[in-house]
Structure 1
C-alpha cells in the first residue's frame, strides 16, 4: 500500500527530507548574523538566553529561552542581540565552528545558546508542504507544545556538540520529529493554515482526510467520504473545498499522482502494480489520469527519472 497513516506522514515521506543542523551558536555582547535565503525550511530554538529574529517584511521578534521557530522558504533574516546591531554574514562565521560550536564574545554563563538548522526537500514535491507554511512560525516555551519542542531543541544541540557514533542519523531524526511537532503546533492554532494541514483539525473533513491517506488503493466515492465525515455530500464537498482549496476527489487524484511520481522515480513498482496501489482498476485508466496531472505517460516519466541515475553510473564507470 502506498498510503501512510495520515497526510503529514505522506508528505514527509514524499518530501525525502535532507537535514543539516548547523553548529550551535554561543554569544555574548553585541552581535548580529545575517542568513541568506534558503529553500525550504529553517528550524531553530534557544537553549539559553534571548535574541532577536528579524525577518524581512516583519516586525522584529524577541526569542526567549525555550522558544522554537520555523521559517518557510524564508527571505534573508537576521539573528541578533539587539534589533539595531549591525549584522555580518553568517556563513563565514559558522564555517569557523570548532567541536560543533561557534562562539562570539568571551565565554560566560549568561551567554546565548542557539541551535539552528535547515531541512531541504525533494523539489518535485516540496510545494506539498512549503505552500502551506507562513514565513515564520514561533512556538513559545509556555505554549501547549512548547515544552516538548524545547526538549527536542535541547537534545539536538547536545547531539551537535558531541562526536558520538551515529550522530548525523540522530540529528536527522530529531530534526524531522521537531518539524512534525512544529507543524502540529501551527495547525492547532486559531489562525489555522489553509490546505490539508489546517483541515486535519476539522472533525468531519479531518476524518475523511485520514481515511483517504490510510488507504489510497480504495475506490473512494464522494458519498463514502461524506458518510465518514457525518455530513451530506453537498455539505462535505463545500466544507472540504473551503478548508483544503480543491474538491475532495481532485485532492485524492493529486495525492495519488504524487505517490505515483515518487514510486516511478524510485522504480519500486511496475506500472500495473502502481495502478492497483493508487485505486485504478486498469493500467490504462491510471495512465490517463497520470498524463492529465503530470503531462507525460507513466513510462515516459519513469524513463526520464532513470536518466540521471544512468548518467551517474556511467560517469562512475568511466572514472574508474
Structure 2
C-alpha cells in the first residue's frame, strides 16, 4: 500500500491520516511578573523556550519550571497556566494573544524582556485524531540536556527565527518546522524508560517493532500471523501475546484497523477506485475488501465515498 498511498511506517501513516493543520505563534516576549491562563485545546500544542525561564502549571500536575532550550508538548490539554512564578495571578490568555503584532505578544517593558517563548498549535482531522491523541499524555517535557533535547532546541530556534522575519515562504517553513518538531517530540516520548502504550511505544520493542514496520511498509501484502512471528524471530503464540501486550490489540486486528483507516482516508479524498483500493490494502477481491470495510466502518465503501462527497449541511437558524 505504501507504493500507492505513499505511507512507509506507523508514524508516517499517522501523520498522513491526521492531515495536520498548524498555526505557529503568536510568540511571547515578557518581562517582570506575569501569568496567562489558557483554555482546553483539542489535539496538540508544542512550545519551547528560546530565552529565559517560565512555569507551566497544568491542571492535575505539579508546576514545572521550564528553562532555556526546554521543549514541551500538550496532548488534548486541560486548562493550564504559563507564568513567571507559580504564585502570579493569571489573566485569560485569549484577549492578550488577540493583541499580537507581527507574530509577537509583549508583556511588560520591552527593554526588560527576559523571556522568549515560541509555540505552535497543531489540529488534526477529527475522523483520525484518536490515532495519535489517544496515545499521548497531557504533558511531555524534553529537557535541553535529554538525548533528543539539543535537536529540539535547535528546531525551536529555527522556528523562532522564521517567526521573527518576514521572509518569502515563511508560513510554509513554519508549518513544516512545527510538524518536524511534532515527530521529534513523538520520538523522544517513545524512547523513554516509561514507554507509552500502543503502536508508538511498540516501535522500540525489538520483535514487535520489526513486525510493525514491515506491515506499514507493505500494507498490500497478505500478512499472516505465522509470517509476522517469523520476521519477529518469535513463536506465533509468543508474538501474538507480546504484540497485544504492547499495542493493545491482536496483530491481525491491528492490521485490519489500519487498512480501514487508510481506506477511509482514500475514499474521502476519492483518490482510488474501490478495486484499486482493495488491492492496495491486501485483499484479493473487491467483495472481500467491501465485506471487511462494512464490518469495521458500518457502511459499504461506495456508500462511504458518496457520503464524503456530500457538502456539509448548513447549520439551522436559531431564533
Q: TM-score, normalised by structure 1?
A: 0.95
Instruction: Give the direction of change, closer, same or farther, for the CA distance of 1:265–1:310 in structure 2 (3 Å limit).
Output: farther
* Contact kept? 2:162, 2:174, Cα under 8 Å: yes
Distance in 1 between residues matched to 2:316 and 2:254, nearest whole Å: 37
Q: SS at the partner of 1:310?
A: coil
* Contact kept? 2:31, 2:112, Cα under 8 Å: no
* Contact kept? 1:22, 1:94, Cα under 8 Å: no
Deviations 1:222-272 (A, max 9, x none): 011001100000000000000000000000000000000000000000101
- Note the C-alpha offset of 1:158: 1.3
* Contact kept? 2:226, 2:236, Cα under 8 Å: yes
Deviations 1:186-244 (A, max 9, x none): 00000000000000000100000000000000000001100110000000000000000
Distance in 1 between residues matched to 2:133 and 2:233, nearest whole Å: 31
Q: Does 1:53 align with 2:56?
A: yes
Distance in 1 between residues matched to 2:311 and 2:123, nearest whole Å: 20
Q: CA RMSD in A?
A: 2.7
Instruction: Give the direction of change, closer, same or farther, for the CA distance of 1:311–1:300 in structure 2 (3 Å limit).
Output: farther
Deviates more, 1:3-12 or 1:118-127: 3-12
Q: SS at the partner of 1:176?
A: helix
Instruction: Give the direction of change, closer, same or farther, for the CA distance of 1:241–1:298 in structure 2 (3 Å limit).
Output: same
Deviations 1:152-186 (A, max 9, x none): 11111111121111111111100000000000000
Q: SS at the partner of 1:79?
A: strand
| Equivalent residue number for residue 95 of structure 1 | 98
| Equivalent residue number for residue 175 of structure 1 | 178
* Contact kept? 2:27, 2:119, Cα under 8 Å: yes
Deviations 1:270-296 (A, max 9, x none): 101100000000111101100111111
Instruction: Give the direction of change, closer, same or farther, for the CA distance of 1:182–1:100 in structure 2 (3 Å limit).
Output: same
| Equivalent residue number for residue 106 of structure 1 | 109
| Equivalent residue number for residue 291 of structure 2 | 288
**Following superposition, which runs of at least 4 residues in structure 1 exceed 4 angstroms of deviation?**
309-314
Q: Does 1:274 align with 2:264?
A: no
Instruction: Give the direction of change, closer, same or farther, for the CA distance of 1:91–1:310 in structure 2 (3 Å limit).
Output: closer
* Contact kept? 2:29, 2:113, Cα under 8 Å: no
